[in-house]
């Protein structure tokens, strides 16, 4: 159910930020992360919001900024703001502001990643996804009975060699990172950068809950799919979210006629 009062409230905001998670929110989850692209209906809604008056659209993702730009087909002249690596890497039309890992951080990251890769090599279907500030262990291609042991071995590796790294879980994935920044930080930055008077944030996974919990009374949080959530609106799937976003784009146009 898509509540009309949420649409009306956001339609009247002087400056609206629409901040959207990517995987599972704008794009269907698939086995090969770099093949992910926006769902066609999500793309229509996304483009409609970009045209809506007084509205800024942003993507907020756990992906590295580089990978996010590839899968979102984000061009250099885009008006869409990006927060990659949960907000540690940022892009605005004025330029990117990637926070580079230090030489020491890169050395530790590369050593742990190589060790994780040799563990993954012994498990059919397992692989390690490189990330700017660490790495992830996706398991969609690993048989369920093998996943527990794989995660336990890599948990042990990280706990021993880099106990300060942050561990996050998501849909069929565990991520380890040496930057402790969350999507709440990303949305706070975007809110300030766009001087937004209201925010719509939509996401489907545990890391999105950081942003959803941090929203204010003038904002609207949307959870896509099942799971415990701090969002005030839940939609079943990406097409239902897309329908809501199209209605919002239309309502913002009408509010300014």
Ligand X SMILES: O=P(O)(O)OC[C@H]1O[C@H](O[C@H]2O[C@H](CO)[C@@H](O)[C@H](O)[C@H]2O)[C@H](O)[C@@H](O)[C@@H]1O
Binding residue for ligand X, selected from 13, 41, 49, 61, defined by CB under 6 A: 61
**CB 47 within 8 Å of CB 245:** no
For ligand X, the binding residue among 173, 190, 238, 245 (CB under 6 A) is 173
Q: Which of 101, 170, 182, 221 binds ligand X (CB under 6 A)?
A: 170
- C-alpha 200/C-alpha 249 separation (Å) is 12
By CB under 6 A, residue 225 contacts ligand X: no
Q: Of 6 and 22, which CB lies nearer to ligand X in the complex structure? A: 22
Burial of 42 (0-12, 13-18, 19+ CB in 10 A): buried
Does residue 54 contact residue 257 with C-beta atoms inside 8 Å?
Answer: no
172 binds ligand X (CB under 6 A): yes
Per-residue mark of binding to ligand X, 3-32 (x: CB under 6 A): ------------------xxxx----xxx-
Tell which one of 15, 37, 113, 140 touches ligand X (CB under 6 A). Answer: 140
| DSSP, residue by residue, 140-189 | TTS-HHHHHHHHHHHHHHHHHH-TTSEEEEETTEEEEES----HHHHHHH
Q: Stretches 94-102, 113-121, 166-174, 226-234: which one binds ligand X (CB under 6 A)?
A: 166-174
| Residue 129 binds to ligand X (criterion: CB under 6 A) | yes
91 dihedral zone (left: phi>0; alpha: psi -120 to 50; beta): beta
Q: How far apart are the first and last CA of the chain?
A: 27
Q: Where are the beta strands (DSSP E) in the chain?
A: 16-20, 55-60, 81-84, 89-92, 95-98, 129-131, 134-138, 166-170, 173-177, 198-203, 220-224, 233-235
If binding is defined by CB under 6 A, does position 84 make contact with ligand X?
no
- Considering only CA atoms, which of 164, 166, 161 is closest in space to residue 176? 166
Contact status: 171 vs ligand X (CB under 6 A):
yes
* Min separation Cβ 229 and ligand X, Å: 14
Least separation in angstroms between CB 95 and ligand X? 22
Is there binding between residue 62 and ligand X (CB under 6 A)? yes
We find the least distance from the C-beta atom of residue 148 to ligand X, in angstroms, to be 17
Query: Please, what is the minimum distance in Å from the beta carbon of residue 155 to ligand X?
Result: 17
113 interacts with ligand X by CB under 6 A: no
* Binding stretches for ligand X (CB under 6 A): 21-24, 29-31, 33, 36, 61-63, 129, 136, 138, 140, 170-173, 175, 205, 207
């Amino acid at each position: 159910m898509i509540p009309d009062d949420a649409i009306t409230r956001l339609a009247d905001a002087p400056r609206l930020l629409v901040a959207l998670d990517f995987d599972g929110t704008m794009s269907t989850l698939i086995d090969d992360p770099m093949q992910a692209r926006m769902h066609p209906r999500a793309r229509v809604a996304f483009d409609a919001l970009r045209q809506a008056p007084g509205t800024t659209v942003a993507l907020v993702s756990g992906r590295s900024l580089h990978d996010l730009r590839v899968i979102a087909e984000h061009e250099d002249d885009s008006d869409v703001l990006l927060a990659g690596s949960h907000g540690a890497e940022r892009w605005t039309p004025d330029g990117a502001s990637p926070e580079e890992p230090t030489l020491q951080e890169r050395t530790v990251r590369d050593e742990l990643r190589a060790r994780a890769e040799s563990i993954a090599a012994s498990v059919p279907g397992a692989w390690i996804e490189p990330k700017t500030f660490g790495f992830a262990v996706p398991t969609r291609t690993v048989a369920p009975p093998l996943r527990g042991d794989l995660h336990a071995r890599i948990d042990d590796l990280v706990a021993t060699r880099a106990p300060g790294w942050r561990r996050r879980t998501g849909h069929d994935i565990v991520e380890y990172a040496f930057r402790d920044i969350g999507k709440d930080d990303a949305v706070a930055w975007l809110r300030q950068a766009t001087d937004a008077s209201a925010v719509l944030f939509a996401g489907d996974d545990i890391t999105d809950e950081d942003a959803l919990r941090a929203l204010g009374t003038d904002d609207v949080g949307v959870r896509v799919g099942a799971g415990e959530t701090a969002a005030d609106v839940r939609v079943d799937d990406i097409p239902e979210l897309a329908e809501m976003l199209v209605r919002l784009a239309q309502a913002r146009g009408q509010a300014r006629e």
